[in-house]
A and B are shown apart, each in its own frame.
Chain A
Amino acid sequence: MSRAETGSVEPGERRAVRPVWSWSLGLLRSELGVTLRRRRTLALLAVLAAVPVLIGTAVRIETGDGGTVGSGGDGPAFIAQITNNGLFLVFASLAVTLPVFLPMTVGVVAGDAIAGEASAGTLRYLLVAPAGRLRLLLVKYVTVLVFCLIATLVVALSALAVGAVLFPLGEVTTISGTTISFGAGVLRAALVAVVVAASLAGLAALGLFVSTLTDSGVTAMATTVGLLITVQILGSVPQLDAIHPYLFPHYWMSFSDLLREPFHWEEIHRNLGLQAVYTGVFGAAAWARFTTKDVTA
């Protein structure tokens, strides 16, 4: 049977299954389209894009009379450097959104991934298509990862644009005190964005696992965001420092090590390793749960 003749095949006859990669990519494309065309996703991205505008405007107003921000670097990281170089708005915005805002949007998208389809009833139709449970789960996870990257880039690009409009751009002074060209600085910013996006992989897997536990999208989203906030609170209690290295946000701020000369890779490696562990553990848990789950919604 040639595939071009699919339309004339006998109804009961088996049709050839397309190559796995081609079908999976088609499903992924569909998933990305469905996720990114949702009004909710766009609203989340709009909120993220607004954060650099707020920070940039606030810094601009405060320093409009020629002064500098705060007393020299006690506020959020990189804020003080913004007036000299708009590129630092990228790093400052990522530093401001990374603890809660950015992961919250990831929690919403990851938590809704399976549970949202279940509560809408569309999950049963995807499964009888049949999308395949493992494949659907993988496609969902990759989609959340792509969202992590897009969300981070939205913050970074919005910050770059706002920084360019409100502040001078130029050579970048690294944390180590050396100077690199503006172009090299932009490359660093891109690298930082990728590392920040990768930092969210563990949370994405956690959210996906939560999403397999319930048939209510709202419950899964709220639970994932609740877990995120709980973990951030635990991470800020000094008496619990024994468990801190195991919390997924522990090394998130290590992205600033990419602004040293030379790079400090150690904490970034630890961060990525921790994200890999969370992905492995919660990815496996999500697989175990989802592939054996009774889909009755």
Chain B
Amino acid sequence: MRDIKIQVNDLSLYYGEKKALKEISMQIPANKVTALIGPSGCGKSTFLRCINRMNDLIPSVKITGEMLVEGVDIYDKNVDVVNIRKKIGMVFQKSNPFPKSIYENVAYGPRINGLKDKTQLDEIVETSLRQAAIWDEFKDRLDDSALGLSGGQQQRLCIARTLAVSPDIILMDEPASALDPISTSKIEELVHQLKENYTIIIVTHNMQQAARTSDHTAFFYMGELIEMGKTNAIFTKPEKKQTEDYITGRFG
């Protein structure tokens, strides 16, 4: 099955005693946008962070089950977490550029991978910024501090920074939640363009956004995966009552 990128089998996650994800099983298709929706605290972020093993940073976390990416279990003992994260990039809910210049932010990833050549770096910075559709805005102020940018600009810079390490999968945790409608639509546009080359998984609270940007949608509720399917199907005729209630805004 070439077009299944990620296969999740019975994945459970515990924060200490608390079971935050309950036997999740799903398939995430390649080169498509998959949206994760669900009420606050249902485990969307937790699940997303499982995919690039960011939960390793929390000492109390225990994970069971399998997370197969192209058939390789990323929780296997022999798998290197650093290599995983190079291939599975992440954009956070709150934009978090480094306190460095715009250029240095984007060049950071290639640099830690050992790239020193200035012309190559310049090239990657330009391509990444172009891909994130902010090259024209930023090309004359690459040496400015990234912290002086607006929230929307910062978020797109973070996306460019992620693209610069040329990952395979991009995880986005409510990337537009703190942004105005214009910045939001820019990011949605971006997501749409990026899916040609990347597999994208995006968490969102915004139903229209999920409907607009994603090909597939997964609905989480209280740590369980309730339903997953084509976005069209989920939004027009959901199979489960809970999904319908949530989408139509009757709870959540």
A-B complex is real:
no
